[in-house]
Chain A
Amino acid sequence: MNNLQSLSYYWPEIILTVTILVAIIADLFYSDKDSGKTALWVLGGLILAQIAIYIQDSEIVTTLFMGNLAFDPFASFFKTLIVLATILVIFISQKSSELDGHRTGEYYSLMAIMVFGMFLMASAIDLIMLYLAIEIVSIVSFILAGYLKGDLRSNEAALKYVIYGAFSTGIMLFGMSIIFGLAGSTKFFAIQEAMWNLEGSAQFAFTLAAIFILAGFGYKISAVPFHFWTPDVYEGAPTPITAYLSVAPKAVGFAVIIRFFNTVFGDSGAFIDPSIYTFTTIAWPQLLAVLSVITMTLGNLVALQQNSIKRMLAYSSIAHAGYMLMAIPTLSSQGVYAIMLYLVMYLFMNLGAFFVVIYVKSQGGGESFDDFKGLGWKMPIVGIVMTVFMLSLTGIPPTAGFIGKFYIFASVIKVGPQMYWLAVVGAINSVISLYYYFRVVKVMFLEGEPSETIIVPSPTVLMILFALAIPTVFFGIYWAPIADWVSRSLTLFIKVI
């Protein structure tokens, strides 16, 4: 579709762009104290954008802007997920004590720009567009990670993030240049076509390019060995941003991996026939399987040794990326389905866990396990809700985390005996994670002195807590609405070769 025609399919992004500009200009009129009101503009814009996404969520599947973007339910799914995560994080940010005394107008405007970048990532089908989208998300993440200007930890987190981010995108770029040399085009579908007609001697170059590109994508979802930045950035960044980074960019990172690998090295995600993948000697499914095993094992083992809950959650989010990666080598629509379902469940439980950490800190507590001693007695509601999130992150029924994990393992086992080893490794890892998630529960309820006074959170905090905890439990019992939504969204733009 040409540029002008595309505009009528581009309402959510147009609304978002206007929101960004309005938020930036509105912020100029606020005093330092009122600067946080920018959040209202951003919230309003996001809700309007979400309505626009909902309205256009139709059967039409096409490409926009001269083949730069795909317009498909798959992209709409991730856009909705991003908007949901952003709205929740904006509410969470209001309750964060770390941001007190900072002018927060830019914080929210930058968040809106990041949403725009993630929208593009979810739908890009051109290497240039994809690169640009990844860079927008990265650059805004760098700034947000260093938002606490007076805090050296935040500064160093941002510096480290910039260095690792630029390094991995540099490597990714080199990989993209190799692909450009082989295919002579930057469009996914043209590359796919070239891939089919390649001589055998070009396979090596293609494999190398895939590995280089994986460095860039792996960095976004913090898969080992591209995870080095994760613990320090997660610890140093303002906690609401940590929560955001662990959910939204990770989700679109998976969207990019699914779209890119299935399009360029597969049959565009049509999943008609898995044997189609054997046409290439590129062992990318095996590569991703190994990556997934290393990622979850390392994430879990290091999480065991942490004394800070924030840092423990950082490593556990690496482990969760590993679980989700497990489903990609299945090369089936069930695998993609499972990942999408898991991302929805993961959104609630992970944001929830981070919100509890933020709330405890804002009540004069800290982020280490010691600070959580006796919390269950001092703040019973928070303690119980945190227990729910921990159960869900471990994957114990009847919580959302269990359903997510169940679908992931089911999709892996369904492939056949050659994948059983992967499921076994995943199961062992879940058991390891049981230890450190339950350590939080143990510390909260079994250690420390029972306190005399009981602190009941304010109504707004309770609202956010329940907005995150109720879905975590509810979707563990009745997940049909999510399952429906995911299966409706399982349509990628396909150009059948």
Chain B
Amino acid sequence: MDNLNTYLFIAAILFSLGMFGVITRRNAIAVLMGIELILNSANLNFLAFAKFGGMNMSGHIFALFVIIMAAAEAAVALAIIINIYNNFKSINVDEVRELRQ
């Protein structure tokens, strides 16, 4: 169990699952969850490489910053969703599809 490839495979599976979530779901929050999986898979990669590269601490720092960014991004995304929610209460629901391809 304790070798680099095991961890890399887990990360690859998580990445693919996240990707699947992003491209097949339509709901914004479901897509956001898929993105969190992708970020986690990258973090697992960083930490695995850090350990098997001889406790290379740059990987830990990178993972730390990724977690910080993920939190900031989630906060902004939620603020935008709340804002849409506030508008929904006053505006007709049908109008939300204003932007189209």
Residue in B42, B45, B80 whose CB lies within 8 Å of A142: B80
The reply on A173 being an interface residue by CB < 8 A is yes
Interface residues of A in 153-190 (CB under 8 A from B): 153, 155-160, 162-163, 166-167, 169-171, 173-174, 176-178, 180-181, 184-186
Contact status of A174 and B42, CB under 8 A, knowing A132-B69, A155-B83, A159-B80: yes
A128 & B65 in contact (Cβ 8 Å cutoff)? yes
B46 & A177 in contact (Cβ 8 Å cutoff)? yes
Q: In whole angstroms, how far apart are the Cα atoms of A186 and B65 in the complex?
A: 13
Residue in B31, B65, B81 whose CB lies within 8 Å of A167: B31
B61 & A157 in contact (Cβ 8 Å cutoff)? no
The reply on B13 being an interface residue by CB < 8 A is no
B80 & A162 in contact (Cβ 8 Å cutoff)? yes
> Per-residue CB proximity of A128-166 to B under 8 Å, as 1/0?
100110010001001100100110110111111011001
A158 & B80 in contact (Cβ 8 Å cutoff)? yes
Bin chain A's interface residue count: 35 or more
B76 & A139 in contact (Cβ 8 Å cutoff)? yes
B45 & A174 in contact (Cβ 8 Å cutoff)? yes
User: Chain A residue with minimal CB distance to B73?
Assistant: A166
Q: In whole angstroms, how far apart are the Cα atoms of A232 and B61 in the complex?
A: 35
CB-CB under 8 A from A155, the residues of chain B are 80, 83-84, 87
| Interface size in chain B (residues, C-beta < 8 A) | 44
The reply on A426 being an interface residue by CB < 8 A is no
B73 & A162 in contact (Cβ 8 Å cutoff)? yes
> Per-residue CB proximity of A414-449 to B under 8 Å, as 1/0?
000000000000000000000000000000000000
The reply on A313 being an interface residue by CB < 8 A is no
Q: In whole angstroms, how far apart are the Cα atoms of A128 and B34 in the complex?
A: 23
B76 & A180 in contact (Cβ 8 Å cutoff)? no
Smallest beta-carbon distance B63→chain A, Å: 9
Q: In whole angstroms, how far apart are the Cα atoms of A429 and B29 in the complex?
A: 39
Which of A150, A180, A186 has the most CB atoms of chain B within a 10 A radius of its CB? A180
The reply on A235 being an interface residue by CB < 8 A is yes
Q: In whole angstroms, how far apart are the Cα atoms of A177 and B8 in the complex?
A: 11
B62 & A186 in contact (Cβ 8 Å cutoff)? yes
B98 & A153 in contact (Cβ 8 Å cutoff)? yes
User: Chain A residue with minimal CB distance to B78?
Assistant: A162
The reply on A127 being an interface residue by CB < 8 A is yes
Q: In whole angstroms, how far apart are the Cα atoms of A178 and B28 in the complex?
A: 28
Residue in A139, A160, A185, A186 whose CB lies within 8 Å of B99: A160
User: Chain A residue with minimal CB distance to B49?
Assistant: A181
CB-CB under 8 A from A169, the residues of chain B are 69
B45 & A177 in contact (Cβ 8 Å cutoff)? yes
> Per-residue CB proximity of B38-77 to A under 8 Å, as 1/0?
1101110110110001001011011001100100110011
Contact status of A139 and B62, CB under 8 A, knowing A152-B91, A156-B98, A170-B18: no
A163 & B28 in contact (Cβ 8 Å cutoff)? yes
B58 & A186 in contact (Cβ 8 Å cutoff)? yes
Smallest beta-carbon distance B42→chain A, Å: 4
Q: In whole angstroms, how far apart are the Cα atoms of A171 and B37 in the complex?
A: 11
CB-CB under 8 A from A180, the residues of chain B are 45-46, 49, 58-59, 62
The reply on A476 being an interface residue by CB < 8 A is no
Smallest beta-carbon distance B54→chain A, Å: 8
5 A-B interface contacts by CB (under 8 A): A139-B72, A162-B77, A166-B77, A169-B69, A177-B62
**B→A interface (CB under 8 Å):** 8, 11, 15, 18, 22, 28, 31-32, 34-35, 38-39, 41-43, 45-46, 48-49, 53, 56, 58-59, 61-62, 65-66, 69, 72-73, 76-77, 80-81, 83-84, 86-87, 91, 95-96, 98-99, 101
**A→B interface (CB under 8 Å):** 127-128, 131-132, 135, 139, 142-143, 146, 149-150, 152-153, 155-160, 162-163, 166-167, 169-171, 173-174, 176-178, 180-181, 184-186, 231-232, 235-236
